[in-house]
Structure 1
Amino acid sequence: MSNSGEFGWRQATLGLGGNIGDPVSAMAAALRHLDGRSDCRVTAVSGLYRTPPWGKVDQADFYNCCAAIETTLAPEPLLDACLDIEREMKRVRIERWGPRTIDIDILTYDNASVDGEHLKIPHPRMTERGFVLMPLADIAPDLIVRGISVADWLGQSDCSGIEVANENRAWWRG
């Protein structure tokens, strides 16, 4: 049974981040892995951002980016592919909002709305987080999420402490 046949190529956006080990290398490797799959292709990657920890603040800064992809995978198999990459990269997550080696979140998938037990699209907290909206605005400022453009959501968000770590959008290619 195929996970892709009836779906054709669909647009999705991903948020990536981490703060243990070498998160920049981990995110770059994850993007290259996705781009190397026959059912996914990376079409745009944001600059790289250094972000103060959010939620649990007594930890190292995070590095974050966003990517636009095209995929023939349905949303749930795309989530499985992202989780497989996290596992292959020996993802460590000690606690919620705590330190992690790599995190890959599906932010949007076409205009789909998914409300599953393990997957919610659009990502339920993406419009509240400057560390998602800043890199997402690099690649998709006009993307509409919950009726409002990413650029407009960004204008309403707190981005204090978030810094551009690398504005070269080819940083992930290695």
Structure 2
Amino acid sequence: MPQPGNHVKTRPKGQVALGTNVAVGADPLQKTLARALAALDSQAIRVTRISSLYHTPCWPPGSGPDFVNAVAEIETTLPPDAILARLHAVEATFGRVRRDRWGPRPLDLDLLALGDLVLPDVETHTRWRDLPAEEQATQAPDGLILPHPRLQDRAFVLVPLAEISPDWRHPILGRTVRQMLAALPATEKAAIVPISGPWESLSALVKSFETQ
């Protein structure tokens, strides 16, 4: 029976998108994502679910080699800015330099959502969500925006996200992941090709690369 004043800290659930299209050393791209998740998993951030790994076309088209993408569910007690800092720190250990907006990268980690949290506010989120494509290529927000302002538009995010969090509902758009995915063109969804998974645990994913 819990004692008075002995409160257990809740760990809100969030979703992190992972991607890579530049090999790190001799590792295959899939192994880079497995290693990145292992580096992210800690006392403060627990990786609880992992989608399949997918082969996906580069975005925007012609901007570089094709990607391997996935989405992981996390539980954490960290505030959003601390989560973002941790994601950037993991990226840096894999050689990521945040320079080109949409250039090739050894590792890309994006915080997609953290429960129903909206940051910084609905008005700012709407402005970035509706930003024309040509301006997206040259502009980046100064701070964290949640949910990720592009997640509803991207099959390479929604396909793996639908595996692990199909009923998560966008707090501004009011649509579930399943509904947002259904609204995308069939050709875009067909281009997202599963490679392996889904994974019952992080250890199972990491173990699959132990002999490689």
**TM-score, normalising length: structure 1:** 0.89
- Aligned pair count reads 169
Map 1:138-153; keep pairs closer than 5 Å: 138-145=163-170, 146-153=173-180
CA distance in 2, matches of 1:172, 1:159: 24
> Take 2:40 and 2:15, find their aligned partners in 1: how far apart are those partners?
12
User: Which stretch has the larger CA shift, 87-96 or 41-50?
Assistant: 87-96
| Residue identity matched to 2:205 | W
1:52 corresponds to which of 49, 52, 57:
57
Structure 1: state its 5+ residue gaps: 1-5
- Residue 172 of structure 1 aligns with which residue? 205
Q: Which residue of 1 aligns with 2:131?
A: none
> Does residue 137 of structure 2 align to residue 121 of structure 1?
no
Q: State the secondary structure of the residue aligned to 1:120.
A: coil
Extract structure 1 runs of 4+ deviating beyond 4 A: none
Q: Which residue of 2 aligns with 1:3?
A: none
The residue identity in structure 2 corresponding to 1:128 is D
Counterpart for residue 32 of structure 1: 38
Picking from 174, 189, 209, the partner of 1:159 is 189
Mapping 1:89-104, distance limit 5 Å: 89-92=94-97, 95-104=100-109
Residue 137 (structure 1) shift: 0.4
Larger Rg: 2
Give the counterpart letter for 2:197 in structure 1.
Answer: E
Question: What residue in structure 2 maps to residue 75 of structure 1?
Answer: 80
CA positional deviation for 1:8: 3.6
Task: Label 1:118 to 1:161 Cα distance change in 2 as closer, same or farther (>3 A).
Answer: same
One-letter code of the match for 1:70?
E
Instruction: Give, in whole Å, the separation in 1 of the partners of 2:20 and 2:156.
Output: 12
Structure-2 separation of matches of 1:131 and 1:119? 21
User: What letter matches 2:19 in structure 1?
Assistant: G
Q: CA-atom RMSD, angstroms? A: 2.0
Choose from 139, 150, 155 the match for 1:130.
155
- One-letter code aligned to 2:194: V
Task: Name the counterpart of 2:126.
Answer: none
What is the alpha-carbon distance in structure 2 between the residues aligned to residue 73 and residue 106 of structure 1?
13
Match of 2:93 in 1: 88
Q: Which residue in the other structure is 2:14 paired with?
A: 12
- Distance in 2, matches of 1:173 and 1:69, equals 17
- Deviation, 1:7, is 6.7
Give the stretch that moved more between structures: 91-100 or 22-31: 91-100
Matched-pair identity in %: 35
* SS of residue matched to 1:134: helix
**CA 101–92 in structure 1, closer or farther in 2 if over 3 Å, else same:** farther
1:56, distance to aligned residue in structure 2 (A): 4.2
- CA shift, 1:58, in A, is 4.5
